[in-house]
Amino acid sequence: MKTLIEGGWVVAWNGTRHEVYERGAVVYEGDRVVHAGGPYAGAVDARVSARGKLVSPGFINTHVHTTGNGGDWMLGDMVKNDHRTSNYLAFAAPLKGKLTPPPPEAVAALRAYVFLHALKNGSTTIIDVGGLRGDWEGYARLVDDLGVRVYASPAFRDRNTFTDERGRLYYDTDAAAGAKQLDEAIGFVKAYDGTAQGRLRGMLNAAQVETCSEPLLRAGKAAARDLGVPIHTHAGGNLLEFQRIMDEHRKTPVRFLGDIGFLDDRTLLGHAVFTTAHDWSRYPFGDDLRVLAERGSTVGHCPYKYAKMAMTLHSFQRYLDAGVTLALGTDTYPLDMVSELRWASILAKVTDANYQAGLARDVFNAATVGGCRFLGREDLGRLAPGAKADILLINLDHAGGSLYADPIKALVDSASGRDVDTAIVDGQVLVQGGRATRVDEDAVYAKAREVTQHYWSRVPSWRWDGATVDQIVPPAFPIHRAARA
Ligand SMILES: [Zn+2]
């Protein structure tokens, strides 16, 4: 069946770059685009009007944790009073033995919410860099049912992070556990790569550069090469990690990963904020950006998450100018790829004190084709004959939107994920009129909220000082909470 999307601003790929057609057309048949560009005269079976909308390739979100970002990660971001416990460290470092995994139904509820929330906000390809563990059969079924495109496997590490009873962070080495987790990840890739009609694909996830020993990082990269899949790790994510790698290896995280053969064009680094290019690193030796550019690795930039922690890449423009492949991701709540375009653009300008930095063109490229290199996919992130029919229709013409001459600049300057009207993945319409077509989205949200409330109520039981969520993250104003049943 051939479907024609007509009348909108079409972002078509001409083989080397995106071009925009006013009142253009996209035609897809099955899971593939057959035409993208100007008007289409051939016969079609169905027509969809995109008047007043941008017809865009779906965004590739390179940083999603299927942990239920409404829960731990939203809180984790806010813990900025002490940078040593900011970022992931605060909430992924419980008292040892006190944090029990959530029940399977909670895991399923949070996964469903994360996938749906990301999709509704413009992510058609979701890179799951590590989330809640277990029930992989259920995970694959969920990807199949929801219709999203996902790259995943459980993260592995051989150094767990805990806090002691005085709130001091420590790393607890467990080589056997790391090896077992890597085996589990390899098993996941072998079992599920290519399932869900090819939409669930395997990749490996070394959790963080400093929570994996050098032998485990080497083993992980070797396994990824054997399997022919990409690999991700978090690196340059915070100063504590940067310093630990300097102490352990006398090298920056990027240089260390480069020297052990971890970096190549199938490698995605989450964040890579603390490199030789960042002045907080205070490390004037070497050139991490050159290393990243030469190895062809991709940086998954998550601008909003870092902005909330009063940090940013130094800078989007400098990385781009150095030849580093940049992609975008959300990491934490909200998983809104449309807003990330604006954050990436604005932060680039502010960081460089240059309004010519972070152009709409460059951030749009990062959210689309930028995510394709490490995936080894030339059929994603673009609308062209032969590409996957992963398409977004985004509302631009409405009284809450702006008056514009250039729809890409309008998108970057003033749109958000809530303007996504239609999301199509593999030729299947998953969101229409802003609502999910396959699931009861209100029920998905309610269930995720319920299990998150339960999770929050349990925080004092594993937190070193027994603090409640409201004590850890004080509300903006005092809240008189209603009694709960
Ligand atoms: Zn992350």
Q: What 3-state class would DSSP assign to 127? A: strand
Task: Give me ligand 1 centre to Cα 332, in Å.
Answer: 8
How much is the pLDDT for 69?
57
- In the structure encoding, which two tokens stand for residue 67, read together? 């942990």
Neighbouring residues of the ion ligand 1, judged by CB less than 5 Å: 331
DSSP 420: E
- 399 phi and psi, to 5 degrees? -65, -20
Q: What is the pLDDT along the chain (485 residues), one digit of tens a residue?
A: 999 999 999 999 999 999 999 999 999 999 999 999 999 999 999 999 999 999 999 999 999 999 865 555 555 555 555 555 555 565 668 899 998 888 999 999 999 999 999 999 999 999 999 998 999 999 999 999 999 999 999 999 999 988 899 888 889 999 999 999 999 999 999 999 999 999 999 999 999 999 999 999 999 999 999 999 999 999 999 888 999 999 999 999 999 999 999 999 999 999 999 999 999 999 999 999 999 999 999 999 999 988 988 889 999 999 999 999 999 999 988 999 999 999 999 999 999 999 999 999 999 999 999 999 999 999 999 999 999 999 999 999 999 999 999 999 999 999 999 999 999 999 999 999 999 999 999 999 999 999 988 888 888 998 888 988 888 777 889 999 898 76
Structure tokens at 244: 């630990």
How far, in Å, from the CA of 100 to the mean position of ligand 1? 21
Q: How far is the CA of 88 from the centre of ligand 1 (A)?
A: 8
Enumerate long-range contacts of 396-405, CB under 8 Å, 24 or more apart. 396/9, 396/52, 396/53, 396/54, 397/51, 397/52, 397/53, 398/52
CA 48 – CA 429 distance, rounded (Å): 11
Chain segment 235-289, per-residue pLDDT in tens:
999 888 999 999 999 999 999 999 999 999 999 999 999 999 999 999 999 999 9
Q: Closest by alpha carbon to 141, among 92, 173, 169, 104?
A: 104
pTM, two decimals, is: 0.96
**What are the residue ranges of helices labelled H in 101-168?**
104-120, 136-146
- Ligand 1 centre to CA of 386 (Å) is 32
Q: Please, which residues have CB within 8 angstroms of residue 136's CB and are 6 or more apart in sequence? A: 154, 188, 191, 192
CA of 477 to the centre of ligand 1 (A): 29
CA angle 224, 225, 229 (to 5 degrees): 55
At 451, list the tokens.
Answer: 């299990």
* Predicted local confidence at residue 442, as pLDDT: 98
Centroid of ligand 1 to alpha carbon of 62 (angstroms): 10
For residue 302, give the 3-state DSSP assignment: coil
- The set of residues, in sequence order, having a beta carbon less than 8 Å from that of 159 and lying 6+ positions away, is 171, 172, 173, 174, 178, 210, 211, 212, 213
CA of 81 to the centre of ligand 1 (A): 20
Q: How far apart are CA 474 and CA 368, in angstroms?
A: 37
Identify the bridge partners of residue 416 per DSSP, sorted by sequence position.
none
Closest by CA position to 3, among listed 364, 422, 433: 422
Task: Tell me the C-alpha distance between 161 and 13, whole Å.
Answer: 44
Between 407-414 and 360-367, two packed helices, what is the crossing angle to 10 degrees? 80
- pLDDT value for 309: 81
User: How many angstroms is it from 63 CA to the middle of ligand 1?
Assistant: 6
Instruction: Name the pairing type of β-strands 53-57 and 2-13.
Output: parallel
Supply the pLDDT for residue 404.
Answer: 97
pLDDT at 474: 79
Indicate the pairing of strand 204-208 with strand 200-202. unpaired
Q: How far is the CA of 244 from the centre of ligand 1 (A)?
A: 18
pLDDT at 354 (0 to 100): 98
